[in-house]
Amino acid sequence: MEPHATIHELTAAFAKGTASPVAVTEGYLARIGALDDKVGAYLTVTRDQALAAARASEARYRAGAPLSPLDGAPLAIKDVFCTAGVRTTCGSKILETFVPPYDATIVARLRKAGAVLLGKTNMDEFAMGSSTEHSAFKLTRNPWDLARVPGGSSGGSAAAVAGGLAAGGFGTDTGGSVRQPAAFCGVIGFKPTYGRVSRYGLIAFASSLDHVAPFALDILDTALLLGAVAGHDPLDATSVDATVPDYAAALGAGVKGLRVGVPDEYFGAGLDPEIDRAVRAAVDVLRDLGAKVEPVSLPTTSYGVATYYVVAPAEASSNLARYDGVKYGLRVAGKDLIDMVSRTRAAGFGPEVKRRIMLGTYALSAGYHDAYYGQAQKVRTLVRQDFEKAFARVDVLAAPTTPGVAFRHGEKADPLAMYMNDVYTIPASMTGLPAVSVPCGFSATGLPIGLQLIGRTLDESTLLRAAHAYEQATPWRERHPSLA
């Protein structure tokens, strides 16, 4: 099979007997062996487990009883998801030796669907970053230009899917950590509604913002991956108890009559003109396909980044308190308890994580709580109201995913410059609305550009339908980076 075959192509071939899950898995493992030194997508390759899963899958196909449309699909999983018996680092020294005794719910559901998990992918430490440069372990390179970042924090999974080192993958999107790397790497990144997919076993960064999100080569694969993991989980009190539609079945309905809103605030200063042009051209494609396009306004957009960088660090400062050297992970001995905890955290956390823990601790402190955390929660409500107003008039919003294309390693050393990368993805994170990044062209230098579509709460189907119509009308998915 081609290194960039989609999951549905692979599983169709498995069913017909023209390809075998074992051979395909071996092919991916061989490609990882040959190319991942260049890309740096994986932190851990679970070779033996992957082959065992592929053999089991092959037996099922032979018996004519595959478990699901994902049976035998070789996937890359961000190292933020707990995997029973497999080291789960979250990109941090503090969890370098941590082996969870349990699977995250999405991992368990993927296994139940027959997927083959190739390994755990690189990420910014505790998902804090937009370039994967904050990983404690290695650099991940963008398969389109190895001198550039894949985006982040789920850069490893994005690079793996873009580079043909996995047929699909999963990441987490807290402020854009799946949509942004998807845009940078020229693949699909789909953030469902908050609560649509269980967070159980996802190592928390910011609990009210963390979303499980798939990467895929096309929208049909996206629908299949999402369908396999979506749905209520009794282990996650924030997971939504709502029926999961057959996402794949609804794809072909087109966009005739669909109302597409174009928010003015997403096309202002700071947006790369090439991206501006590509996204406006994509909106024209939707119009040509029968969508009704109209301008909308989301006036609170400019408050998004500031609000996010209060709420997310506040939650993170609490979520990361458990890494104290007492129970698991790194422990650095000290002269007493406080000394041990301090030394452990000083040695175990990288500078970006420390920065955010300090920011968040400050924002929650007595005397500052109302001015920062309290105020941020109010703004979050206003942002939500902005979207509610817009969605009274339109069905889907179309906007750029990122203000610029993939940047060079080390280019955004200033934390604020890095944070501004998430300016267009943060609003959908704060509101929990479903949003997808779809490839919509290339820069003059050959770097991918992402179109972001944002939908209504729990209306992933409409979003997938619009993205599918666009994808089918454009040639972008046919281009792949060459790593040879």
Partner 1 sequence: MSTTTATTYETVIGLEVHAQLATRSKMFCGCPTTFGAPPNSQTCPICQGMPGTLPVINRRAVEFVIATGIAIEATIPERTQWERKNYFYPDLPKGYQISQYAIPLASSGRLRIETSDGPFTVPITRAHLEEDTAKLVHGDTAGAAGARTSLVDFNRSGAPLMEIVTEPDIRTAEQARRYAEELQLLLRAIGASDADMERGQMRVEANVSLRPRGTTAFGTRVEVKNMNSFRSVERAIAYEIERQGRALDAGEPLTMETRGWDDGRQATYRMRAKETSDDYRYFPEPDLPPLRVDKAWIASIRDTLPELPAARRARYEALGLSGYDAAVLVADPGMGGAFEAIRAARPTLPAKEIANFVSGSGARVAKGAGYNATGVPGEGHPADVATLLAAILDGAVSRAVGRDLLERHLGDGTPSAALLAGAGPGPISDDAALLEHVDAVIAANPKAVVDYRAGRPVAGFFVGQVMKATAGAADAARVTQLVRERLDAEG
Catalytic residues: 78, 153, 177
Within its chain, how far is the Cα of 393 from the centroid?
A: 28
Tokens of 287: 């119009």
Name which of 288 and 339 has its Cβ closer to partner 1.
339
- Cβ count near 5 (within 10 Å): 18
Q: Considering the complex, what minimum distance in angstroms separates the CB of residue 98 from partner 1?
A: 7
Cα separation, 81 vs 67, whole angstroms: 22
Total number of residues binding partner 1 (CB under 8 A)?
Answer: 46
Cα separation, 454 vs 463, whole angstroms: 7
Q: Considering the complex, what minimum distance in angstroms separates the CB of residue 368 from partner 1?
A: 10
- For partner 1, which residue of 326, 346, 347, 371 counts as binding (CB under 8 A)? 326
- For partner 1, which residue of 3, 26, 47, 208 counts as binding (CB under 8 A)? 208
- Which residue has tokens 């972008």? 476
Name which of 186 and 350 has its Cβ closer to partner 1.
350
- The piece of 27-35, 334-342, 381-389, 462-470 that touches partner 1 (CB under 8 A) is 334-342
Name which of 58 and 233 has its Cβ closer to partner 1.
233
- Which residue has tokens 């999951």? 7
In the three-class reduction of DSSP (H, G, I as helix; E, B as strand; rest coil), residue 171 is classed as: strand
Name which of 11 and 44 has its Cβ closer to partner 1.
44
| C-alpha angle 170-173-176 in degrees, rounded to nearest 5 | 125
- The piece of 100-108, 299-307, 415-423, 429-437 that touches partner 1 (CB under 8 A) is 100-108
- For partner 1, which residue of 49, 68, 207, 472 counts as binding (CB under 8 A)? 207
Amino acid in the structure at residue 105: T
Site for partner 1 in 284-323 (CB under 8 A): 314-315, 317-318, 320-323
Q: Considering the complex, what minimum distance in angstroms separates the CB of residue 355 from partner 1?
A: 17
Q: Considering the complex, what minimum distance in angstroms separates the CB of residue 333 from partner 1?
A: 6
Name which of 49 and 208 has its Cβ closer to partner 1.
208
Task: Name the β-bridge partners of 292.
Answer: 259
Q: Considering the complex, what minimum distance in angstroms separates the CB of residue 379 from partner 1?
A: 15
Say whether residue 204 binds partner 1 (CB under 8 A). Answer: yes
Distances (CA, A) of 370 to 305, 315, 378, 427, 457: 18, 15, 10, 22, 29
Specify the length of the chain in residues: 484
Site for partner 1 in 127-166 (CB under 8 A): none
Site for partner 1 in 374-433 (CB under 8 A): none
Name which of 321 and 347 has its Cβ closer to partner 1.
321
Q: 3-state secondary structure string, 338-372?
A: HHHHHHHHHHHCCHHHHHHHHHHHHHHCCCCCHHH
Task: Let me know: does 124 contact 131? Beta carbons within 8 Å.
Answer: yes
Say whether residue 333 binds partner 1 (CB under 8 A). Answer: yes
Cα separation, 434 vs 456, whole angstroms: 7
Strands 396-400 and 448-454: antiparallel
Name which of 230 and 314 has its Cβ closer to partner 1.
314
Say whether residue 100 binds partner 1 (CB under 8 A). Answer: yes
| C-alpha angle 31-108-425 in degrees, rounded to nearest 5 | 70
Q: Which residues contact 244 (CB under 8 A, 6 or more apart)?
A: 196, 227, 230, 231
Site for partner 1 in 57-96 (CB under 8 A): 81-82, 88, 90, 95
Q: Considering the complex, what minimum distance in angstroms separates the CB of residue 223 from partner 1?
A: 26
- Taking alpha carbons only, the member of 155, 116, 148 closest to residue 25 is 116
Binding mask 343-382 vs partner 1 (x if CB under 8 A, - otherwise)?
A: ------------------x--xxx--x---x---------
- Taking alpha carbons only, the member of 226, 225, 199, 228 closest to residue 211 is 199
Amino acid in the structure at residue 314: A
Site for partner 1 in 173-202 (CB under 8 A): 199-202
Task: Let me know: does 424 contact 401? Beta carbons within 8 Å.
Answer: yes
Name which of 65 and 337 has its Cβ closer to partner 1.
337
Say whether residue 241 binds partner 1 (CB under 8 A). Answer: no
Q: Considering the complex, what minimum distance in angstroms separates the CB of residue 412 from partner 1?
A: 28
Exposure string over 409-424, b if 16+ CB within 10 A, otherwise e: bebbeeeeebbbbbbb
The dihedrals phi and psi of 191, each to the nearest 5 degrees, come to -95, 110
Task: Name the β-bridge partners of 145.
Answer: 142
Name which of 150 and 171 has its Cβ closer to partner 1.
171
Q: Considering the complex, what minimum distance in angstroms separates the CB of residue 205 from partner 1?
A: 11
- For partner 1, which residue of 76, 104, 182, 298 counts as binding (CB under 8 A)? 104
Cα separation, 94 vs 448, whole angstroms: 34
Say whether residue 49 binds partner 1 (CB under 8 A). Answer: no
The binding site for partner 1 (CB under 8 A) comprises 81-82, 88, 90, 95, 98, 100-102, 104, 199-204, 206-208, 234-238, 314-315, 317-318, 320-324, 326-328, 333, 337-338, 341, 361, 364-366, 369, 373
